[in-house]
């Protein structure tokens, strides 16, 4: 059976759908509880289902696997990024738009404070299968965003360049975050993390920002971005 996501009667949320959403949330909560208490590998799907008062078999009509419990809002960030691209100003270049989209995604982290998000970060670093799933979701998101970016700048970016640009941005931010979050001293101060990410992305993406100033023809020693690497 496929996992339902929307409601059938568009104007009204039916009892069925409300019940379903409640059970779904109960599963996520129970999983978070058990993952924190017993560990990811030690928690079985049967445990989670029992804690949410459903049969083991029924679990699989809500989530396709144990990892999915950690990413219940899969494409929310993607939608935010796409919206940021859609609401671009007339003078913005591809890099500016993408930068703003990613900053919005990163800053909209009500995420970073929630218990599930913290647990997710820890399990991504700890459990290989979770990391694999996270990377896969990120990769799919990149693809989606790159497509919209190419559509937004049809005369300045072909599909390959848009993908490269998006991949560079996301890769820079992700890698910087990985190093920062592995340092056990940085944790607990979101402002520090954010500042370090900004600095690192400036270093990594300086060429892209310069290139997006004009259509890749003019010299641009003048509008150099704020943080070149130290001499």
Site for a copy of itself, rule CB under 8 A: 94-95, 128-129, 131-133, 135-136, 139, 142-143, 146, 155-161, 163-176, 178-180, 196, 199-201, 203-208, 210-212, 215-221, 224, 228-231
Q: How far is the CB of 8 from a copy of itself (least distance, A)?
A: 29
Q: Rank residues 58 and 220 by Cβ distance to a copy of itself and give the closer one.
A: 220
Q: Closer CB to DNA, residue 132 or residue 228?
A: 132
Q: State yes or no: residue 138 binds DNA (CB under 7 A).
A: no
For a copy of itself, which is the closer residue by CB, 72 or 167? 167
CB 10 → a copy of itself: shortest distance, Å? Answer: 32
Q: Which does 21 bind (CB under 5 to 8 A by kind): DNA, a copy of itself, none?
A: none
At a CB cut-off of 8 Å and minimum separation 6, what does 60 contact? none
DSSP string, the chain: -PPP-S-SSSSS--HHHHHHHHHHHHHHHHHHHHHHHH-TTT--HHHHHHHTTS-HHHHTTT-SSTGGGG-TTTTHHHHHHHHHHHT--TT--HHHHHHHHHHHHHHTTTGGGSHHHHHHHHHHHH-HHHHHHHHHHHHHHHHHHHHHHHHH-TTT--HHHHHHHHHHHHHHHHHHHHHHHHSTTTTT-HHHHHHHHHHHHHHHHHHHHHHTTTTS-S--STT--S-PPP-
Binding to DNA (CB under 7 A) within 35-94 occurs at 43-46, 53-58, 60-62, 64-66
Q: Which is nearer to a copy of itself, 44 or 175 (CB)?
A: 175
CA dist 147 and 85 (Å) reads 11
Least separation in angstroms between CB 109 and DNA: 27
The binder of 108, among a copy of itself, DNA, none, by C-beta within 5 to 8 A per type, is none
* Contact set with DNA (CB under 7 A): 1, 4, 8-9, 12, 14-17, 19-20, 23, 43-46, 53-58, 60-62, 64-66
């Amino acid at each position: 059976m496929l996992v339902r996501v929307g409601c059938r009667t568009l104007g009204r949320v039916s009892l069925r759908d409300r019940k379903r959403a409640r059970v779904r949330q109960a599963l996520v909560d129970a999983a978070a509880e058990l993952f924190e208490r017993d560990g990811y590998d030690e928690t079985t799907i049967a445990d989670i289902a029992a804690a949410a008062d459903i049969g083991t078999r029924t679990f699989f009509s809500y989530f396709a696997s144990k990892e999915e419990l950690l990413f219940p809002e899969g494409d929310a960030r993607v939608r935010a990024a796409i919206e940021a691209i859609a609401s671009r100003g007339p003078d913005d270049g591809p890099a500016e738009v993408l930068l703003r989209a990613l900053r919005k995604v990163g800053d909209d982290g009500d995420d970073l404070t929630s218990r599930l998000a913290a647990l997710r970060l820890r399990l991504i670093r700890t459990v290989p299968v979770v990391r694999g799933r996270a990377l896969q979701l990120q990769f799919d998101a990149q693809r989606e965003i790159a497509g919209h970016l190419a559509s937004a700048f049809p005369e300045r970016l072909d599909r390959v360049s848009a993908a490269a640009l998006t991949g560079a941005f996301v890769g820079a931010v992700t890698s910087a975050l990985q190093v920062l979050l592995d340092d056990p001293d940085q944790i607990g101060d979101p402002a520090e993390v954010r500042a370090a990410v900004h600095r690192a992305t400036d270093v990594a993406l300086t060429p892209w920002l310069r290139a997006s100033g004009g259509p890749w023809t003019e010299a641009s020693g003048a509008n150099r971005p704020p943080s070149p690497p130290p001499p």
